[in-house]
């Protein structure tokens, strides 16, 4: 998936990292070396993985010192092997030493997410199901973490609460209480979903997608009748997924309206993701690719010019 990194969207995060780590100055480095000392360094992958975040590193160092130059040996989204040099850097010893940890924190975290995403994508090939991210991200890091997902071959879900409707289980349960309908009533499921979608369609801008999270066959039927764009199947087992996917495919939609996309979510792992994809769902959203990704081991080795 194409994702052009917009550096202005990470500027606040970069500035926060500088303030947090360097603060008023690196008292060790500043008192050991002269400003004129120039050194070179190389970023080396210490394990196999997908690299992402090199433009972030370059932008970060430019904020510290315009005299630093970074040469990328690979592009973001590239799979590298252990021991491979992924970039070289040249600049003031003070700048490189002071910025080393921040640069690696960004590069390792973003590459780790890209690597885990790529593993999920690889597990379901050659099926056409999309691996998608969620909003389960570190506060302030969402833009970068979704960039990492794209670099790993995944697809971005909504960026936040503002760019797509997603009616979740708690929305429906609260609406049921408000209207006095019993949660166990099949007809109430359908009625609530239809009412919620109808109310939203009247208020939101045209073109905004409407998705509904469903837990039962009755709720799926309600979502189909409401004419939503995407139906999310939450925590359903393989047999249930096969049934609801078939149900959507056999649905005779209203004239001029497309059948909704189908999405599976909940407890998706590398071990079961292929079984989920084989049910025929269009999308699988995986919170783990951001909230549980292990940082990719990368080092910065610096030597005198």
Are the C-beta atoms of 232 and 265 separated by less than 8 Å? yes
85: tokens are 């040099």
Torsion-angle region of 122 (φ positive above 0: left; ψ -120 to 50: alpha; else: beta) = alpha
Kindly indicate the confidence band of residue 178, based on its pLDDT and cuts at 50, 70 and 90: confident
- Please give the domain boundaries of the chain with CATH numbers for all domains: 7-116+294-304 (3.90.1170.20), 123-291 (3.20.20.70)
Q: What are the phi and psi torsion angles at 289 (to 5°)?
A: -65, -20
H helices present in the chain, as ranges: 11-21, 27-30, 54-64, 93-123, 142-151, 169-179, 186-203, 217-226, 238-249, 273-277, 288-291
Average pLDDT, the chain: 93
CA distance 84 to 221: 52
Task: Please report the pLDDT score of residue 3 as a whole number.
Answer: 83
Cα gap 62→11, rounded to integer Å: 11
pLDDT of amino acid 184:
44
**pLDDT higher than threshold 50 for residue 66:** yes
User: Residue 187: is its pLDDT beyond 80?
Assistant: no
Find all residues with CB under 8 Å of 66, minimum gap 6, and list them.
none
- Summarize the confidence of residues 7-33 as an average pLDDT: 97
Distances (CA, A) of 106 to 40, 60, 99, 111, 257: 20, 9, 11, 8, 43
Measured distance CA(275)–CA(32) in Å, rounded: 57
Band (180; pLDDT cuts 50, 70, 90): low
Average pLDDT over residues 35-46: 96
Question: Residue 1: pLDDT above 60?
Answer: no
Q: What is the pLDDT of residue 46?
A: 98
């Amino acid at each position: 998936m194409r994702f052009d990194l917009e550096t202005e969207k990470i500027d606040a995060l970069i500035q926060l990292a500088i303030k947090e780590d360097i603060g008023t100055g690196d008292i060790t480095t500043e008192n050991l070396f002269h400003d004129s000392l120039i050194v070179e360094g190389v970023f080396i992958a210490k394990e196999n993985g997908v690299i992402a975040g090199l433009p972030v590193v370059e932008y970060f160092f430019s904020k510290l010192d315009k005299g630093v130059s970074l040469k990328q040996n690979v592009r973001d989204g590239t799979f590298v092997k252990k021991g491979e040099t992924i970039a070289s850097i040249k600049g003031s010893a003070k700048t490189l030493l002071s910025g080393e940890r921040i640069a690696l924190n960004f590069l390792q975290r973003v590459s780790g997410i890209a690597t885990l995403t790529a593993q999920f994508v690889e597990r379901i090939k050659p099926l056409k199901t999309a691996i998608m991210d969620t909003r389960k991200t570190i506060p302030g890091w969402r833009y970068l973490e979704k960039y990492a997902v794209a670099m790993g071959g995944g697809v971005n879900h909504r960026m936040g609460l503002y760019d797509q409707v997603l009616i979740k289980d708690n929305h429906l349960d609260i609406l049921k209480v408000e209207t006095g309908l019993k949660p166990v009533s099949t007809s109430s499921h359908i009625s609530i979903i239809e009412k919620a979608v109808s109310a939203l369609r009247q208020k939101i801008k045209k073109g905004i997608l409407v998705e509904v999270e469903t837990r039962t066959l009755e709720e799926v039927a309600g979502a189909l009748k409401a004419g939503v764009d995407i139906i999310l199947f939450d925590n359903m087992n393989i047999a249930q997924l096969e049934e609801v996917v078939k149900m959507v495919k056999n649905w005779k939609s209203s004239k001029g309206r497309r059948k909704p996309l189908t999405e599976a979510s909940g407890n998706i792992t590398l071990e079961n993701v292929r079984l989920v994809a084989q049910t025929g769902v269009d999308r699988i959203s995986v919170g783990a690719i951001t909230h549980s990704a292990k940082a990719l081991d990368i080092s910065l080795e610096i030597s005198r010019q």
